[in-house]
Amino acid sequence: MSLHTSMSVVTSILKPFSSAEGYRATSVTANKVRFSSPKERGLAESVRVALEEGNFHPVKEFTNFIRQAEINDDEFLLIVKDAKRVVHSLTPDFVHVIECLLSLNWKNRSFEIIEAYTEFYIDIMVTHNIYLPIGISKLIVHWIPDDLDESDWVNGCPSERTRLVLKPIHEVLNRILTAVPMAFDLVIDAISAKFPYFKKPAHVTSGYLFNVLWIIEYKPIFEELILQLVVQKLLVLDVNAPRDEIGSEIDDEDDKMKADPLLQIDDLSADTLAGTGRTLKHPIGKTLDIGLLMLYRFFEGKCRIHQNSNDQQRWTANRLFKMLLHIFDEVLLPSHNTHHVQFVLFYVTSIRLAYSEAFLDLLWKKVQNPNISVIIRHAAVGYMASFLSRARFLPLSLLLIFRMVIFYLKELSKWAHNYIDDSGEYNQTCSLKAHLVFYSICQAVFYLIAFRARDLTASSKDLLFLQSLQLSRLAMCHLNPLRYCLAPVATAFAGVTRTYQLAYCHTVLERNARRKLATVYGHDKCMPEETLESFFPFDPYLLKLSNKYIKNNYMVYQCNDKDDYMDGSTNEPLSRKRVDSEIIEEDDFIIADKRQKHLELPKCQESDEQFHFGSFPGLNL
Q: For 499-524, how does the pLDDT look when each residue is reduced to its tens digit (9 = 90+)?
A: 999 999 988 998 888 876 555 444 44
Collapsing DSSP states into helix, strand and coil, what is residue 391?
strand
DSSP secondary structure string for all residues of 542-574: --SGGGGGTGGGBPPP---GGGGBSSTT--SBP
Higher-confidence residue: 350 or 272?
350
Residue 110 counted as domain residue: no
User: 447 near 456, Cβ under 8 Å?
Assistant: no
Least confident of 19-33, 243-257, 296-310, 314-328: 19-33
Residue 5 counted as domain residue: no
Q: Quote the crossing angle between the two packed helices 243-259 and 283-303, to the nearest 10°.
A: 100
Residue 282 counted as domain residue: no
Tell me: pLDDT of 559 over 70: no
Tell me: pLDDT of 612 over 60: no
Mean pLDDT within 419-443: 82
pLDDT of residue 605: 39
DSSP secondary structure string for all residues of 424-462: -TT-----TTTTHHHHHHHHHHHHHHHHTHHHHTSSHHH
Count: domains in the chain: 1
Mean pLDDT within 544-556: 93
Instruction: Look at residues 420, 422, 417, 393 and name the one whose alpha carbon lies nearest to residue 405.
Output: 393
User: 62 near 38, Cβ under 8 Å?
Assistant: yes
Collapsing DSSP states into helix, strand and coil, what is residue 154?
strand
| C-alpha to C-alpha distance for 142 and 215, rounded to whole angstroms | 14
Tell me: pLDDT of 411 over 90: yes
pLDDT of residue 562: 52
Most confident of 38-52, 104-118, 604-618: 104-118
pLDDT of residue 416: 95
Higher-confidence residue: 556 or 569?
556
Q: Is 52 left (phi over 0), alpha (psi -120 to 50) or beta?
A: alpha
Higher-confidence residue: 590 or 125?
125
pLDDT-based confidence at 188, cuts 50/70/90?
Answer: very high
Average pLDDT, the chain: 80
Residue 418 counted as domain residue: yes
Least confident of 427-431, 442-446, 601-605: 601-605
DSSP-based helix, strand, coil % in the chain, nearest 5: 65, 0, 35
Mean pLDDT within 398-409: 71
| C-alpha to C-alpha distance for 472 and 501, rounded to whole angstroms | 10
Report angle CA 365, 493, 615 to the nearest 5 degrees: 80
Q: Quote the crossing angle between the two packed helices 353-368 and 404-423, to the nearest 10°.
A: 10
For 158, phi and psi rounded to 5 degrees? -80, 155
Q: Is 155 left (phi over 0), alpha (psi -120 to 50) or beta?
A: left
Residue 543 counted as domain residue: no
pLDDT-based confidence at 255, cuts 50/70/90?
Answer: low
| C-alpha to C-alpha distance for 349 and 380, rounded to whole angstroms | 16
pLDDT-based confidence at 263, cuts 50/70/90?
Answer: very low
Helix extents (H) in 469-606:
471-475, 487-499, 506-521, 594-600
CA 609 to chain centre: 24
* Amino acid present at 63: T
For 57-99, what is each residue's pLDDT tens digit? 999 999 998 888 888 999 999 999 999 999 999 999 999 999 9
Tell me: pLDDT of 143 over 70: yes
Distances (CA, A) of 250 to 258, 259, 544: 12, 14, 9
Least confident of 111-125, 244-258, 332-346, 363-377: 244-258
pLDDT-based confidence at 399, cuts 50/70/90?
Answer: very low
Higher-confidence residue: 252 or 516?
516
pLDDT-based confidence at 223, cuts 50/70/90?
Answer: very high
For 295-345, what is each residue's pLDDT tens digit? 999 999 999 887 777 888 889 999 999 999 999 999 999 998 899 999 999
Residue 136's Cβ-side half-sphere holds a number of Cα atoms within 13 Å equal to: 25
Torsion of CA 442, 445, 450, 453, to 10 degrees: -150
309 DSSP assignment: -
* Amino acid present at 620: N
| C-alpha to C-alpha distance for 344 and 216, rounded to whole angstroms | 18
User: 539 near 385, Cβ under 8 Å?
Assistant: no
Tell me: pLDDT of 549 over 70: yes
| C-alpha to C-alpha distance for 99 and 465, rounded to whole angstroms | 72
Mean pLDDT within 117-129: 94
Mean pLDDT within 371-378: 95
Q: Which domain holds residue 459?
A: 373-521
**Terminal C-alpha separation, the chain:** 127
Least confident of 253-267, 391-405, 591-605: 591-605
Residue 495 counted as domain residue: yes
Collapsing DSSP states into helix, strand and coil, what is residue 177?
helix
Least confident of 7-11, 354-358, 468-472: 7-11
Residue 158 counted as domain residue: no
| C-alpha to C-alpha distance for 548 and 603, rounded to whole angstroms | 26
Beta strands in 56-193 (DSSP E): 153-154, 157-158
For 506, phi and psi rounded to 5 degrees? -65, -30
| C-alpha to C-alpha distance for 447 and 482, rounded to whole angstroms | 12
Collapsing DSSP states into helix, strand and coil, what is residue 330?
helix
**DSSP bridge pairs for 575:** 586
Tell me: pLDDT of 267 over 70: no
| C-alpha to C-alpha distance for 431 and 81, rounded to whole angstroms | 76
**Taking the model in full, what pTM does it have?**
0.80
Helix extents (H) in 150-269:
160-179, 183-194, 202-218, 223-239, 243-259
Residue 42 counted as domain residue: no
Higher-confidence residue: 5 or 192?
192
pLDDT-based confidence at 601, cuts 50/70/90?
Answer: very low
